[in-house]
Amino acid sequence: MMLQVAVLSFLLCSAHSFSVKVLIDGSDESSGNTIEDDEFTVSARLEKANANLGKNLGDPVVIFGDIAVPSGLQNADPCTARGCLWPKAPDGNVYIPFRISRQFSRRQREIIIEGLRSFERTTCIRFTPLERQRDFVDIQSRSGCFSFVGRRGNGQVVSLSRQGCVFQSIIQHELLHALGFNHEQTRSDRDQNVRILLQNVIPGQEHNFRRIRTRNLGTPYDYNSVMHYGRFAFSRNRQPTIIPIPNPNVAIGRATQMSPTDILRVNRLYACNSTSSKRHLKPTQTDIFLKK
Ligand SMILES: [Zn+2]
């Protein structure tokens, strides 16, 4: 656990920090004050899909709900020496090779590809079909939705179980982990923005609410982040486990896609600039993806 924290801190420390103002969407919609309203939040879907995680031999160790931890690592995580960022190409884009398992139906494959492509429209991240590269994202249907944080080296599994993970929000959420991001409610400044009610948390799941010494890339805490868990995440008694402050009625964790702040963070972590974001974007690229 400490290892993962160290990795993330290193990762975020290595990114540049800026101070541009961000407009946060007003949250005037339904706040989802009952557990039923939260059925389709990212965290509710993750919890449901990950109910059996760890029961199969070969499942990685998963912490924080859906973050896989490499096993067998002793002292320093190799990731900290290499840097967990994906490398930037001379043209300013970050090309991340991917492979999608044949376990998925054609329709599911299309949804996953749409999730991969969603990064192209707003960032310099370019997911490209695997050719001969060493490091890549290996999208499989394992027993739940999970991902490692940052680039791990070689093929790294991003699991999107066919049962319960093939949704735009979950796909983006897991890919954001692979890009190096953690959950919003573990941010260093979360206690100014949410109150965690550990008394309502399922015993043994308290670690999901641990705070991490993150660097936040000059971006504000974002209730609408696709990385924010819902109000009832890991609740043992149908009572809230996360309450926003000062206004307890603000909607949290109900994003169905990356928020403007999520996008801004990707652009900052990978130092994308506006010229690289739009280049090399051809409308026919979906066809290339689908032929693979
Ligand atoms: Zn997650």
Distance of CA 283 from the midpoint of ligand 1 (Å): 30
So what's the pLDDT on residue 27?
Answer: 35
- For residues 65 and 173, give the distance between their C-alpha atoms in angstroms, rounded to a whole number: 12
Distance of CA 226 from the midpoint of ligand 1 (Å): 9
Between CA 32 and CA 7, with CA 206 as vertex, the angle to 5 degrees is 105
Distance of CA 247 from the midpoint of ligand 1 (Å): 25
Which two three-digit tokens encode residue 114? 């749409």
Distance of CA 22 from the midpoint of ligand 1 (Å): 23
- Tell me how far CA of residue 209 lies from CA of 16, 52, 148, 250, 252, in angstroms: 26, 20, 18, 19, 15
Q: At what angle do helices 168-179 and 42-49 cross, to 10 degrees?
A: 90
So what's the pLDDT on residue 57?
Answer: 59
So what's the pLDDT on residue 70?
Answer: 59
- Tell me how far CA of residue 49 lies from CA of 58, 111, 143, 162, 212, in angstroms: 17, 17, 8, 9, 25
Higher pLDDT, 44 or 290: 44
Q: Is residue 26 packed enough to be buried (19+ CB in 10 Å), middle (13-18) or exposed (0-12)?
A: exposed
Say whether 175 sits in a helix, a strand or coil.
helix
Q: What is the DSSP letter of 148?
A: -
- For residues 90 and 275, give the distance between their C-alpha atoms in angstroms, rounded to a whole number: 13
pLDDT 10s digits, 95-104: 999 999 999 9
Distance of CA 282 from the midpoint of ligand 1 (Å): 30
Q: What are the beta bridge partners of residue 127? A: 96
pLDDT 10s digits, 221-259: 999 999 999 999 999 999 999 999 999 999 999 999 999
pLDDT 10s digits, 119-154: 999 999 999 999 999 999 999 999 899 999 899 889
So what's the pLDDT on residue 207?
Answer: 87
Task: Count CB-CB contacts under 10 A for residue 191.
Answer: 11
280 appears as a binding residue in the annotation: no
Domains of the chain, with CATH numbers? Answer: 35-270 (3.40.390.10)
Residue from 29, 47, 114, 174 carrying the catalytic annotation: 174
The sign one gets for the Cα dihedral 187, 190, 193, 198 is positive
Q: Residue 288: pLDDT band by 50, 70, 90 thresholds? A: very low
Note whether 142 and 166 are within 8 A (CB). Answer: no
Distance of CA 60 from the midpoint of ligand 1 (Å): 14
16 appears as a binding residue in the annotation: no
Distance of CA 173 from the midpoint of ligand 1 (Å): 6
Q: What is the mean pLDDT of residues 33-48?
A: 85
183 appears as a binding residue in the annotation: yes
What are the residues whose beta carbons fall under 8 Å from the beta carbon of 23, sequence distance 6 or more? 260
DSSP 76-124: S-HHHHH-SSPPPPTTS-EEEEEEE-TTS-HHHHHHHHHHHHHHHHHSS
Q: What are the beta bridge partners of residue 214? A: none
- For residues 131 and 12, give the distance between their C-alpha atoms in angstroms, rounded to a whole number: 29
Query: Is 110 assigned a catalytic role?
Result: no
Higher pLDDT, 177 or 13: 177
